[in-house]
C-alpha cells in the first residue's frame, strides 16, 4: 500500500527509500576461490563501509547477485576450473551499471583488455590490499601507463602474455607449463625472466 502524500508516513517512507538506495550503492560482491583471502579482504572492505556479499564460484556469484543486486563486484580471474572473465557479462546482464574490478594472479595486459571489453571497469594484479580495491572501485587508481599505451603488443610481448596464461592454467608449475608449451624448462625460465616491453 502506497503512503498518503504529505503525511508523516510519506516522510518516513522517503527516508527509508533513501537508506535502502544508499545501502544498494555500497553493496559489493566479492568472488574468489581462496577462502582465506576472501574472508580477509571482505572483512577489511566491510570495515570501510561496504555491504559485502561473497561467492567462490560463478554459479554462487550469479545467485547472490540476483538475490540482492550489487553496485560493485570484485572478481578473481581464476576460479578453480572456471574463469572470472566468463562471470563478467553475466553480472553486467544483472546490472548494466555494475562497477567491476578483476583480480589477476599476474600482470597480464592481454587478459586485462579482455576483461575491460567484457564489461569490467578496472583490473588489479595480486597481491592486493583493501586500499587497492577501494581505489580501483572509486577510479582513483594511479597507473604509469594505460591499456592504450600497452597496445598493440610486440610479438615478444604476445608470446610472454601467452606463456603467462599457460603458467596460470598450470597453477604456476614451471615443469607442467614447459610440457604444455613443448619447450625445455630452462628455456621457459629464461623467457619468463625477460619480460618484454609492450611494443
Q: Could you tell me the residue ranges of all domains in the chain?
A: 8-138, 155-193
Whether residue 173 has pLDDT greater than 60: yes
Please list the residues that pair with 122 across neighbouring strands.
101
pLDDT in tens, 84-110: 889 999 999 999 999 999 987 665 666
Whether residue 17 has pLDDT greater than 50: no
Cell of 50: 561496504
Regarding predicted confidence, which is higher, 52 or 118? 52
Q: How far apart are CA 73 and CA 84, in angstroms?
A: 11
CB 52 within 8 A of CB 78: no
Name the CATH superfamily for 8-138.
Response regulator (3.40.50.2300)
Give the other-Cβ count within 10 Å of 20's Cβ: 10
For 143, left (φ over 0), alpha (ψ -120 to 50), or beta? beta
Please list the residues that pair with 140 across neighbouring strands.
none
Q: How far is CA 24 from the centre of its chain?
A: 19
Residues in contact with 45: Cβ distance below 8 Å, sequence separation at least 6, in sequence order = 28, 30, 52, 130, 133, 134
| Cis amide bond preceding 14, omega within 30 | no
Q: How far is CA 126 from CA 89, 92, 130, 133, 172, in A?
A: 22, 23, 11, 11, 14
pLDDT confidence of 176, banded at 50, 70, 90?
A: confident
Q: Tell me what the pLDDT averaged over the chain comes to.
A: 78
pLDDT in tens, 184-193: 888 888 877 7
In 109-154, alpha helices (H) = 109-118, 130-138
Name the CATH superfamily for 155-193.
Homeodomain-like (1.10.10.60)
Name the DSSP letter for residue 34: -
Amino acid at each position: 500500500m502506497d503512503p498518503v502524500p504529505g503525511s508523516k508516513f510519506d516522510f518516513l517512507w522517503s527516508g527509508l527509500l533513501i537508506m535502502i538506495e544508499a545501502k544498494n550503492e555500497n553493496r559489493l560482491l566479492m568472488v574468489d576461490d581462496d577462502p582465506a583471502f576472501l574472508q580477509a579482504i571482505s572483512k577489511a572492505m566491510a570495515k570501510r563501509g561496504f555491504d559485502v556479499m561473497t561467492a567462490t564460484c560463478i554459479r554462487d556469484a550469479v545467485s547472490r547477485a540476483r538475490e540482492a543486486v550489487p553496485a560493485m563486484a570484485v572478481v578473481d580471474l581464476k576460479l578453480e576450473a572456471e574463469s572470472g572473465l566468463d562471470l563478467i557479462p553475466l553480472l553486467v546482464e544483472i546490472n548494466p551499471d555494475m562497477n567491476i574490478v578483476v583480480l589477476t594472479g599476474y600482470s597480464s595486459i592481454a587478459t586485462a583488455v579482455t576483461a575491460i571489453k567484457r564489461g569490467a571497469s578496472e583490473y588489479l594484479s595480486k597481491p592486493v590490499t583493501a586500499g587497492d580495491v577501494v581505489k580501483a572501485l572509486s577510479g582513483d587508481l594511479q597507473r604509469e601507463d594505460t591499456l592504450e599505451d600497452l597496445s598493440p603488443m610486440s610479438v615478444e610481448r604476445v608470446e610472454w602474455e601467452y606463456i603467462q596464461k599457460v603458467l596460470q592454467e598450470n597453477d604456476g608449475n614451471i615443469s607442467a607449463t614447459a610440457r604444455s608449451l613443448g619447450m625445455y624448462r630452462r628455456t621457459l625460465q629464461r623467457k619468463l625472466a625477460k619480460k618484454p616491453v609492450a611494443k
